[in-house]
Amino acid sequence: MPNIHEAAVGTILALLFWIYLRYKPLRRAPEPPGPAGIPIFGNEFQIPQDKQWLRFHEWSKVYGDVVRLTTMGQPVIILSSAQAAVDLLDARGTVYSDRPRAVMAGELVGWDRGLGYSPYNSRFKEFRRMFQHTLGPRPVQSLIPLQERENARFLLRVLIYPNDFIEHARQSTGAAILMISYGYAIQPNDDPFVKIAEEAMKGFSKSSEPGAFMVDRFPFFQYVPEWFPGAGFKRAAREMREDLERLYDVPYEFVRKQMASGNASPSFTSKYLNEKRDTAAFDDDFVKAAAASLYSGGADTTPSAVTTFILAMVHNRHVQSLGQAEVDNVIGHERLPTIADKGDLVYVGAIVREVLRWGVTVPLGLPHQVSQDDVYRGYSIRKGTIIWANIWSILHDENYFPKPNEFRPERYLKTDDYDPSEILRHCDPLAIAFGFGRRICPGMHLAENSLFLTVATILATFDIAKATDADGNEITPEVEFSGFISHPRPFRCKITPRSETAAELVRSYVVADQSIG
């Protein structure tokens, strides 16, 4: 009998041990390193309100290129190398393509209706399909004549009103995108559609700033009334939402009326209204959101890059001279450069790359979110973790870009003593600056063409120098950038035609256009 009892006990113990092995929680891999936080709040108070990418860059030097933080219990990982960003956001796109909840920008203001803040779902995939048909590498070729026409108008405005170059860059970009999105030709001055779009974009940039609004950290605050103490964000959100609704509705209704009268110009919106409006799957709001997303994707970023180029030329006259010499040698003085000249203007192309690297337009991109548990380099990355790719840090990596704060287009040019292939293979600004994986900017080809065209034609026609004060002393502008969509701090400079021949060339391209004001 004792043997039977011992056998039963042994069997039970063996069964319990098997159950333990079968159902015990898997030992979680260690989490990535990062700065110590405080209970409950984590690293919340260590993250600044502006230029968060610089603090993240500092931490990457201490903890490595994969840094873990927490904010109010929310795990966050910062990726500060091209390798880590590509490994996760590109190679594991099925896991790293979702968006985290964005209470202020998404839910309260309403940007979650469009592409940028859309979850990774069927709606997002349909957005991407639509944009690929309009902005993919092949379709974008049909938009080149429009870009070249608007760029010529930009040059004339700079010739007439050189001090307003920032506004001219905004107007030129807005004109091209409004024509692509809605078939709308802007008015020469104070265009109402441009104003609507600019106000909406101010709201996007402000509401998207990481950590700027308490409601993103404490979502339950979204339910307090506007009169409640500390609820100023509710009033701000309502005003931003009204601006966004105007961007959705006003241009869209313009297209519908033009189509009804038979006068609609071909556009992104008219195309999809023609294709979808009589189908069961037609969604009025979806087309509005898609068109507004197309506009919002480039309306602020491209002018920022153009302004960065002008600032770089003020500080780097030798680069400007080399770019002008290449344009003169390749193009001559009888015509303006075109996008077709891109392959021959190698140094100009290097300037474009360096503009995107030196003054990163969206230093942190938009956040990704992990949709299932994962392990990377032996580190545990939990489902729901927010992932920020620190694009600024990646494009200031001294392993690829020695003296990263210097503007040096020669980084990308092969010589007898230097081969840039490693940079171009692993850390090319033309790729990195537009994001990663399935969330990469769908308008990157349009934006690249626009920036190249602007850089090449400015070099062909204008000299950019420091402004002078009343006593004739040169004014050196600060190299200072800020904002979620990062812009140079407003600065003065002196822009003059390189010659009367250059000025006449600019005038000749729009001589028949009476819409330049």
Residues of each annotated binding site for heme: 441
Strands 379-381 and 374-376: antiparallel
SS3 labels along 313-356:
HHHCHHHHHHHHHHHHHHHCCCCCCCHHHCCCCHHHHHHHHHHH
3-class secondary structure, 488: strand
**389 beta partners:** 79
Exposure on the CB side of residue 435, measured as CA atoms within 13 A: 23
Residue numbers belonging to the annotated binding site: 441
Residue 175 in contact with residue 153, Cβ under 8 Å?
yes
The answer to whether 264 touches 255, Cβ cutoff 8 Å, is yes
What does the alpha-carbon distance between residue 63 and residue 473 come to, in Å, rounded to a whole number?
45
What is the DSSP annotation of 403-450? STTS--GGGG---SS--THHHHHH--HHHHTT--GGGS-TTHHHHHHH
Quick one: which of 100, 203, 166 has its CA closest to 483? Answer: 203
Is the dihedral angle over the CA atoms 353, 357, 362, 367 positive or is it negative?
A: positive
